[in-house]
Each structure stands twice: as structure tokens, then as C-alpha cells.
Amino acid sequence: MFEPSVLLILILYVALAALAVRAFQGSVQDILLAAVNALGLGLLLPWAEGSVYLIVYGLFLLAFWSTLSKVGRSDAAYFLTISLPLAMLCCVKYFGTELVGILEHGSSVEQRTPPFAVMIGLSFMVFRLIKLAVAVRNHRIEPPTAAHFFAFTCFLPTLPVGPIGELARFSLSKAAASHAAIPWGLAAERILVGAVKYFFLGTILQLVTFEGLLFDGNGHAPVEIFVAGAGYYLYIYCNFSGFCDMAIGVSALIGIEVEENFDRPFTARNLSELWRRWHITLGTFMSEMIFMPLAHWLGPRIGRRLLPLTVSVAVVVTFLLLGLWHGATWNFVAFGVLQSIGVLASYHWGNLLRSTLGVQGYARYLRHRGVLWSGRVLTFAYMACSCIVFANDPAHLARLGSMFP
């Protein structure tokens, strides 16, 4: 559970942010919300570390914003603007311990892992910034003012784990907040549901993950590996979607509409559908920023008659990058490979059925309840097995292998 001091800080933040958004408009609204975001971050992070990270984050975001207005006029500025967040992410994700030592002690000898909240928060911020740069580049939105930019990028409820929002939606809801009633019932429901998932169900399910079930020094049956994978899959869902539910509810109190990130993922009948229901904003980002541009580039070069090959290459590259985004060790690469295999299996199987059954026959196949539930069970089992490599680094995978020779 949250410590009492953390809970008080969050309540204070929500009250001040709601006041800033609902009682003011325009540039004053942006300035106040950006200031409240900075205050909330400063209070939640330990002061010695928090001041360092706030300064580093602030300078990084300021550098990004300073190039943002030029991305529509210059290819070099666009490249620089996209490269800045990616470089920052790589530095923190893969050289974080050395950087923390330099920032806090003046020497990389004093190595310490960056706070977890900083790590994951930066990962989602990077995707948010890239989407913003692309939107400005394509003239879908105008470059934001500095205050509006900081109010959006540092919006505290979505900063740690998303959803990966868009500036246009954020701006529209913020502008309308002063005229909208506070949705007390809806917000309370989302916060309560999220809290039950995150604090109660997540805590219980963590007991049947790999750390809670297998790595206890006792003997175990091989089937327990699958049980732990399924437990981890359910735990991640409750943990992640629960946090997103609370973020959506808190944002509604403030007056900001936040994107949904999960849509009943366990009802998915295949991996392709799962990734349209699971971590929706991440899946949308990977599709818009990697899969579709790559498929569009490959299409004329490979040829229209080889469209399945184009799709296959684009899917594999997309999920390999998705795996590497989670981490640089080979287990995350393996996870990306497994996801691409699952997605391509459903894609090619669907193509085969359409060509053999015809349009009406394929529609009847999709409506068959036995087929539907078989697909759901197989999809869940496949994801549970994929979580075996996702949840365990190479050392833990070797340990699992030694337990079941």
C-alpha cells in the first residue's frame, strides 16, 4: 500500500491540479499545471535524488521543446528531435548505473541503479515525445508553448506507466474542463477497481509467479513452470491495468481525459487481437511508428504478390524492437520473437481459411463458439508460456533449467 505521506502528497496533487485545470484557462492554466506536476514529482522522489532527476529531466525536455518548432521545416531538426529522446532512453536504460554514480557522486565508480519509477517513466515519456514530434512534423498540430508542453509531458498520473497519450486529446479535454462537471461516480469507480487490481489481486497473484512459487528452494513439478507463467501473466495484467485504471480515474477528477490502455485482453481469440486489446497505446505506437511505415517501404520493393512476406518482415522487426524496448538481454529478444511467431501464425492461418472456406464459410468459422473459446484458451496458454522468458533474465532461466533437467 501507499505510505500515508505518499497518499497525502497524491491527494494534495490532485486537489491543486484540479484547481489549476478547472478554475483557469489558457496560458495560466498551462503554467499552473506544469508547476503542480513539478511539485508533485519533487515531493514524491527523495529530495536528494529528486532534485537531480528533476533538473536532468527538465533540461532534457527543454532541449527537446527547443527543436520541436523546427521539425516541420528541417529534416535535420526532425532527426535531432527524434534522436534526443531515443538517446536519453538508451543512456538511462543501458548505462543507468554509471550515470547515477556520476550525477550523485561525481564518479561512475559509485554505481547505483536509477529509481524504478524514473526508468519506466522515461520509457513512456520517450514514446509520448516521439508521437508529438511526428504530429508536429505532419502538421496535425501546432508546436505547443513551453508551458503547454511541460503540462502535457509531465502530467503526473500518466507519467509512470502511461497510457501513451496524444497532445491533441490532452489539449481538448483540458480546454473543456472548466465547463465540465466533475465525474465523481465514474472516477471513484475506476480508482476503486484499479486499487483492487493493483493492491489486492496483484499481491495475491504475485505469490504464484516465479519468485513466489518456484524459487523457494523446494522441489517442484514441471507443470508448475506453466502455472508460474500463467500467474505472472495475470499478475502483470492486474498490476499494469490496475495502475492505468487509477490513472484514468484520477485524471478524470482533474479534468483530463486519458486514453484506455486495456480492453478485455483475455477475450482475445489470437495474438493479433490480443495486441489490439493489451497495452493499446503501446501497440498503436508500434503500429503507427514502425510496422506501417516499414510495410509501406517494403511493399513496392518486395512486390504486391508477396504481400504476406512484407507483412511477415514488418511484424518480426516490430516485435523484435518491442522486445528490446523492454530490455537488452536475450530473453526479451526471445519474447519479441515468440510474439511475432504468434501474430504471424494467426495472420497466415486467417489467410488460409479465407482462401479455402470463402467469405461466408470463414464468417461461420469465426462465429463458432467452440472455435472462439479454443482460440481464447490457446492465446492465454501461449502468452503464459511467453511470460516464462519475459519474466526471467538469463540467470533465472538457467536456474529454471537446472531445476528441471
Q: What is the pLDDT of residue 283?
A: 93
Alpha-carbon distance 36 to 188, whole Å? 22
Confidence band, pLDDT 50/70/90 cuts, at residue 400: confident
Confidence band, pLDDT 50/70/90 cuts, at residue 123: confident
Q: Give 5: exposed, middle or buried? Use CB within 10 Å, 0-12, 13-18, 19+.
A: exposed
Query: What's phi and psi for 380, nearest 5 deg?
Result: -60, -45
What does the pLDDT look like over 144-160, one tens digit per residue?
999 999 999 989 999 88
Q: Name which residue leads in pLDDT, 376 or 1.
A: 376
Q: Name which residue leads in pLDDT, 297 or 109.
A: 297
Q: Enter the DSSP assignment of 178.
A: G
Q: What is the pLDDT of residue 111?
A: 46
Residue by residue, DSSP assigns 372-391 as HHHHHHHHHHHHHHHHHHHH
Residue 29, Cβ neighbours under 10 Å: how many?
A: 22
Q: Output the nine-digit C-alpha cell for 398.
A: 538457467
Give the end-to-end CA distance of the chain in Å, rounded to a whole number. 39
Average pLDDT, the chain: 87
Distances from the Cα of 299 to the Cα of 77, 128, 227, 234, 239, angstroms: 28, 28, 42, 38, 39
What does the pLDDT look like over 332-358, one tens digit per residue?
999 999 999 999 999 999 999 999 999
Helix locations, 24-74, DSSP H: 26-44, 47-68
Confidence band, pLDDT 50/70/90 cuts, at residue 401: confident
Q: Is the predicted pLDDT of residue 2 greater than 90, yes or no?
A: no
Q: What is the pLDDT of residue 120?
A: 53
Confidence band, pLDDT 50/70/90 cuts, at residue 108: very low
Q: What is the pLDDT of residue 405?
A: 64
Alpha-carbon distance 41 to 39, whole Å? 5
Alpha-carbon distance 253 to 251, whole Å? 5
49-63, 152-166, 190-204, 321-335: range with lowest mean pLDDT: 49-63
If residue 370 lies in a helix (H) or strand (E), which one and from where to where? helix 369-391
Q: What is the pLDDT of residue 117?
A: 47
Tell me if 215 sits within 8 A of 392, measured CB to CB.
no
Q: What is the pLDDT of residue 94?
A: 63
Residue by residue, DSSP assigns 185-250 as HHHHHHHHHHHIIIIIIHHHHHTTSIIIIITTSS---THHHHHHHHHHHHHHHHHHHHHHHHHHHH
What does the pLDDT look like over 304-333, one tens digit per residue?
888 999 999 999 999 999 998 888 789 999
